[in-house]
Structures are given as structure tokens and as C-alpha cells.
Amino acid sequence: MKKYLPPFAVIFTAILWSLDGFIRQNLFSLPSFLIISLEHIIGAIIFLPLLFKGWQEISSLNQRGWISVLWISICGGILGTFFYTKALSYVNYIDLSVVVLLQKFQPVFAIALAAVILKEKITSKFLILAVMAIIGGYLVTFGTSSMKTWDDKTIIAALLALLAAFSWGSSTVLGKHALKRLSFKTVTSLRLTITGAITFFILFSTDQYEAIEKMTLSNWAYIILIVISTGSVALFIYYYGLNHLPASHVTLYELFWPLSAVALDWFIRGNMMSTAQWFGALLLLGSIVLLTREDSLGQTDY
């Protein structure tokens, strides 16, 4: 059973992230950067004991290791989350599924960078499964609807989602690089601490902290909920999975996000999936099951 835990850890994280959009949309009245700052600062405080425990590892980190940690802290922790949160701020103009577009392109960035930076082998068998997963993820999110119907607000949200896709896709690869030098516990705590410190400095140097005074108890409750579910805690589980799997595989397991997001949209809001979406779900699940089986058998050199 233990051999299946890393793939399921990433899949479980993807399910948590599918909930994130529903939670984060309730904070659309707050500045995006304020939300990012508070969730990372609170998360850094919670995981501070792990930072102290892993200090010996951190003190021996070389230059390339620090570059990887800074990349995932800035691109993954700040820029990716900012672009994603900003896209969700268009809740009054677009549907949540449009923002989930980012998950269709994130594997493209991650797989290419994994081959270049981590020297992971990308064979025809893996590429077939990758194409199946990406097509399935696209169909789950959009069905057969045309992008020609998008207005300017939707296009802006889609571009923001693409920027988030690059930020998170590259962070998956650089996160794997950092995990070669640090434990997943130390990577989680160090990333949260660095991201929290940077956002704290920017928040107070630009006077954006003044918006905190206007926050309601409901706002604080949603931010705390993000931290202990879809934010810092999910990140901890994610790095556990990434520590045991190739980055190129992990980014495909993350495609479980759109499937669960659409399922939740159906359950919570009553939006039933179309035939095309069901077909996409079968493609997505099929490719993920095959990848999970191969990873559990240790056959990760596609």
C-alpha cells in the first residue's frame, strides 16, 4: 500500500486545490496580494518548527539549491498564486472553469523543463499518456464550447491563468530539484518562510496592509480555512508526493484538479457535465490510472 501513497498524495492535493477556487472566490473583495501575504505568513508560522528542525540541511545548501528554493518561493508562492487569485477576482464576469484552464497548459511547461533541467527521460509511451491527460482535462473543463465566445474579461482571466500555469509548472520542476538537497518537510517550511517574508515586506512597504483593517471575521475565516486545507497543508502533502515521483508525472497527476472541480461544480451548483466532459473524464482518469500503476511498480523511466 505504501508504494501507492506518493501518487495518491498528489491526487489528494489536486482535489484540495479544486476546492480552493470555491473558497478563494469568497475573498474577491480583498486585494489579491493581501490574500497571498496573509495565507503565507500564517502558514510560515505554523510550519516554523520544521524550519528549525531542518536548519542543518539549510545551512549546507549550495548556490544551485538556493536558486531552486528562491524560484519556487517567488514564482510558485507569489507570482503563481497572485495570477491565479487575480483571475478568480473576475468571478462576476467568468465561470470558474475558465480559470481552471491553467491546469491544461501547466504540464506542457513542466514536462519540457523536467527534460531540460532534471534530465528526466520522456519517451513515446509517456507522451501518449500526457496527451491523453491534457485532452481529457481540456474536455472536462470546456466540453465542446468555443473560445470564440469569450469576452475581454474572460481573455484577461485566461492570460492570467496561463501565467500561473508557467509559474507553477516551472515550480514543480525546480521543487523537485530542491528536494534532491532537502527533505520535503524542510522544503515546505523554507518556501513558506521565504514567501511569507517577501510578501510581508512588500505589503508594508506599499501600505497595502491598510486593507487589513477593513477585513471582516468572515474574511479571516476563509483565509484560515485556505491555510489549513488548500494552502500550506496541501503544499506539505504535495511535496511528500513530489519527493518520490518524477516531476513530469506529478504535473499530470495534478490534472485530477479539473475533474474534481467540475464534479464539485455539479454537486454544489447543480451544473451537470456534458457528454464531451464525461468523455474527457474517462481520458483523464485512464491516463492517471496507468501512470499510477507504472509509478507504483517503479517504472518511472519513460
Inside any domain, residue 202 = yes
Residue type, 162: L
The whole-angstrom separation of Cα 243 and Cα 237 is 10
Give the pLDDT confidence score for residue 8 in this predicted structure: 92
Half-sphere exposure of 237 (CA within 13 A, CB side): 21
Helices and strands (DSSP H and E) totals, the chain: 16, 0
Inside any domain, residue 301 = no
Nearest residue to 21 via CA among 164, 191, 199 = 164
Site of grid cell 536548519:
55
Inside any domain, residue 302 = no
The whole-angstrom separation of Cα 102 and Cα 97 is 10
Average pLDDT over residues 44-49: 96
Looking at per-residue pLDDT, the higher value among 151 and 216 belongs to 216
Q: What grid cell was written down for 268?
A: 454544489
Residues 239-253: pLDDT tens digits?
Answer: 999 999 888 888 888
Using alpha carbons only, how large is the chain's radius of gyration in Å?
19
Give the pLDDT confidence score for residue 72 in this predicted structure: 95
The whole-angstrom separation of Cα 207 and Cα 101 is 33
Residue 267 has pLDDT above 80, yes or no: no
Residue type, 56: Q
Strands of 8-133 (E only): list them: none
* 50 neighbors 186 (Cβ within 8 angstroms): yes
Give the pLDDT confidence score for residue 301 in this predicted structure: 40
Inside any domain, residue 200 = yes
Residues 211-242: pLDDT tens digits?
Answer: 898 899 999 999 999 999 999 999 999 999 99
Inside any domain, residue 109 = yes
Give buried/exposed letters for 234-271 (b at 16+ CB in 10 A, else e): bbbbbbbbbbbbbbbbbbbbbbbbbbbbbbbbeeeeee
Residue 210 gets which letter from DSSP?
G
Based on the number of CB atoms within 10 Å of its own CB, is 18 exposed (0-12), middle (13-18) or buried (19 or more)? buried
Inside any domain, residue 235 = yes
Range of the domain at 137: 2-296
Q: What grid cell was written down for 298?
A: 517503479
What angle do helix axes 124-142 and 256-269 make, rounded to 10 degrees?
20
Mean pLDDT for all residues in the chain: 82
* 36 neighbors 82 (Cβ within 8 angstroms): yes
Inside any domain, residue 278 = yes
Average pLDDT over residues 261-269: 74
Domains contained in the chain, number: 1
| Count of other CB atoms within 10 angstroms of residue 31 | 16
Inside any domain, residue 253 = yes
Q: What is the dihedral of CA 192, 226, 104, 257, to 10 degrees?
A: 120
The whole-angstrom separation of Cα 73 and Cα 170 is 11
Residues 153-163: pLDDT tens digits?
Answer: 777 877 887 78
The whole-angstrom separation of Cα 181 and Cα 77 is 19
Average pLDDT over residues 256-276: 75
* 195 neighbors 17 (Cβ within 8 angstroms): no
